[in-house]
Chain A
Amino acid sequence: MDKQSDLHSIDRKIQVIKKAAVELKLLSDNFPAVRKNTDRISASLKMMEMNISDALHLDEEYKD
């Protein structure tokens, strides 16, 4: 796999985890341990997006 393909593979995984984190948060209304740890996962995922996704999708409009 070339470097660019690696980056896109990483980016796709980031989005998968991000989607799972959003779903986890929706399930955690009454579960502080899950809710708060999910928030931390989301913050770490944001770092991944800053490190990879933002520069990989320069021609796309920003989506939260």
Chain B
Amino acid sequence: MIDDQKYWNPFLETLNEEKIRELQFKKFKRIFQWAYDHSVFHRSLYDAAGITPDDIRSFADIRLVPKVEKSMMRGVQRKDPFPYGDALCVPIEEVTEFRQTSGTTGQPIYQADTWQDWEWWSECWAYILWAQGYRPADRVFIPFGYNIFVAFWAGHYAAEKIGCEVVPGGVLDTQARILKIRELKATAMMATPTYVLGMAETAKNKMNISPADLSINKITCAGEPGASIPSTKKRMQNAWGALVFDHAGATEIGAWSFECRDQPGGMHVNEAFFLVEIEDAETGEIIEEPGRRGKMIITALDRMAQPCVRFDAKDIIEWDPSPCSCGRTFRLIKGGVIGRADDITKVKGVLLAPSAIEEVVRSIEGLCDEYEVVVDRLGDADRIKLKVELMPGIEDRVREIESRLRDQLRLKTNLGYRIEFHDCGKLPRYEAKAKRFKDLRKK
């Protein structure tokens, strides 16, 4: 029975490493030639570097190709062919999809896709969903706004491609979505971790519904870190009585990674469709061996309208040395996306990754899911304040919780914090991506 098949693509997902590298090299040469021939932006970049497709004769030569940063893309758009400008590789008439980035790091990037690229998006997501156990018997509820951000659009189409029944949950408010999930007995859901926890909170506190009593048995998270942070994953899984899986993708890259059903503590890179390189942030050398963290440089090997060739994603990752029990030969990145290079900041001279704070807060029983971090400066000295919410009814334990929080934060982040306790529900709530880390020193 086809539904019993473990892999969406039993050929590629178990291809040996040597063949994967050969495939990646062949496809890299192809997409590099395509960008060189068809993109004014890429061509000028490569001409300035003095590199042509003929220079790529081995896998190691790939590193000679200049990287692309988001800021470079901003400078070549908003002109003809409008609005994609010099990055567009196809006639504008062939573009069928417009999306844009969220703009959290600056002016949004416009992303063009042809129909073939859009099929590619849903194909990449089909690998993800199949690996996470989605099958035609699933009724998939997708509670997102169906707007100009790519978000879960391709998840919707991939679920259809697999043969699931898809319930588009846009426009409905949170309570209406929960009622619809209950009414239709939806078995799967896709959302950001913030919204997964937010829906659970609304269900419990405003509707007297335990999400664990609903029919959802699997949740795919994307859009922000969380599903690879163990304490956040545990909270989501406990709240919903469901398995929660992570996925990392980006508008300008594609759906490049996924956690499989075996939940190996990391995510597979779809190495048949993407080439991931890890660059040492200090030296610029490419890191081959597992266990060393670096910045991800990624190429989408088949994306045509607006190619992604050696894009500096600024995600911090490391290879996992262990093979996955699922049998896929696609390598794992350990712990998923550990952080973003532009989120990691120095506070009081110490490097701080915001995800480390999340792991501590959500590991402590008695604290609600939401928190906020504020970094500012008093004179020449950095200060860091953590705002947390105490669950109702345990006010007598606040000293014990505070002590545990301080100890764990010191251990995991090497910093001392001013801690503020708030009642549950007082801190901001977010429907999609949360903005919990506020660095006021930048202003």
Interface, chain A (partner B; CB < 8 A): 3, 7, 39-40, 42-44, 46-47, 50-52, 54-55, 58, 62
A-B contacts, 17 listed (Cβ < 8 Å): A7-B11, A40-B115, A42-B116, A43-B114, A43-B116, A43-B119, A46-B116, A47-B119, A50-B123, A51-B11, A51-B12, A54-B26, A55-B19, A55-B23, A58-B23, A58-B26, A62-B26
Minimal beta-carbon separation of A30 from chain B (angstroms)? 18
Cβ of A3: which chain B residues have Cβ within 8 Å of it?
Answer: 11
Most buried by A among B9, B19, B119: B119
**Contacts known (A7-B11, A39-B115, A43-B115); A50 close to B23, Cβ less than 8 A:** no
Q: Which residue of B lies closest to A56 (CB)?
A: B11
Q: Which residue of A lies closest to B272 (CB)?
A: A55
- Would you call A58 and B19 a contact (CB within 8 A)? yes
- Interface range on chain B: under 10, 10 to 19, 20 to 34, or 35 or more? 20 to 34
Q: Which residue of B lies closest to A60 (CB)?
A: B26
Cβ of B302: which chain A residues have Cβ within 8 Å of it?
Answer: 50
| Residue B15 interfacial (CB < 8 Å) | yes
Q: Which residue of B lies closest to A39 (CB)?
A: B115
Distance in angstroms between the alpha carbons of A15 and B300 in the assembled complex: 24
- Would you call A44 and B119 a contact (CB within 8 A)? yes
Most buried by B among A40, A44, A55: A55
Q: Which residue of B lies closest to A49 (CB)?
A: B302
Interface, chain B (partner A; CB < 8 A): 9, 11-12, 15, 19, 22-23, 26-27, 29-30, 114-116, 118-120, 123, 272-273, 302
Distance in angstroms between the alpha carbons of A55 and B26 in the assembled complex: 9
Not counting A47-B119, A51-B11, a sample of 14 additional A-B residue pairs whose C-beta atoms are within 8 angstroms of each other reads: A7-B11, A39-B115, A43-B118, A46-B116, A46-B119, A46-B120, A50-B120, A50-B123, A50-B273, A51-B9, A51-B123, A58-B22, A58-B23, A62-B29
Candidates A42, A43, A55, A58; contact of B11 at CB < 8 Å: A55
Cβ of B11: which chain A residues have Cβ within 8 Å of it?
Answer: 3, 7, 51-52, 55
Distance in angstroms between the alpha carbons of A7 and B120 in the assembled complex: 21
Minimal beta-carbon separation of A8 from chain B (angstroms)? 11
Distance in angstroms between the alpha carbons of A42 and B119 in the assembled complex: 10
**SS class, residues of chain A in contact with chain B:** helix
Q: Which residue of B lies closest to A46 (CB)?
A: B116
List of 6 A-B pairs having minimum Cβ-Cβ separation, nearest first: A43-B116, A43-B119, A62-B30, A58-B22, A47-B123, A55-B23
Cβ of B27: which chain A residues have Cβ within 8 Å of it?
Answer: 54
Distance in angstroms between the alpha carbons of A58 and B21 in the assembled complex: 10
Distance in angstroms between the alpha carbons of A46 and B303 in the assembled complex: 11
Q: Which residue of B lies closest to A57 (CB)?
A: B26
Distance in angstroms between the alpha carbons of A51 and B272 in the assembled complex: 8
- Would you call A54 and B115 a contact (CB within 8 A)? no
Minimal beta-carbon separation of A55 from chain B (angstroms)? 5
Most buried by B among A3, A42, A52, A54: A54
Candidates A44, A46, A55; contact of B15 at CB < 8 Å: A55
Q: Which residue of B lies closest to A42 (CB)?
A: B116
Most buried by B among A3, A39, A40, A51: A51
Minimal beta-carbon separation of B98 from chain A (angstroms)? 18
Minimal beta-carbon separation of B194 from chain A (angstroms)? 32
Minimal beta-carbon separation of A34 from chain B (angstroms)? 16
Minimal beta-carbon separation of A28 from chain B (angstroms)? 16
Distance in angstroms between the alpha carbons of A55 and B227 in the assembled complex: 32
Minimal beta-carbon separation of B120 from chain A (angstroms)? 7
Cβ of B26: which chain A residues have Cβ within 8 Å of it?
Answer: 54, 58, 62
Minimal beta-carbon separation of A6 from chain B (angstroms)? 9
Cβ of B9: which chain A residues have Cβ within 8 Å of it?
Answer: 51
Distance in angstroms between the alpha carbons of A39 and B29 in the assembled complex: 25
Distance in angstroms between the alpha carbons of A52 and B13 in the assembled complex: 11
Cβ of B115: which chain A residues have Cβ within 8 Å of it?
Answer: 39-40, 43
Q: Which residue of A lies closest to B25 (CB)?
A: A58
- Would you call A54 and B116 a contact (CB within 8 A)? no
Cβ of A40: which chain B residues have Cβ within 8 Å of it?
Answer: 115
Distance in angstroms between the alpha carbons of A40 and B118 in the assembled complex: 11
Minimal beta-carbon separation of B95 from chain A (angstroms)? 13
Cβ of A52: which chain B residues have Cβ within 8 Å of it?
Answer: 11
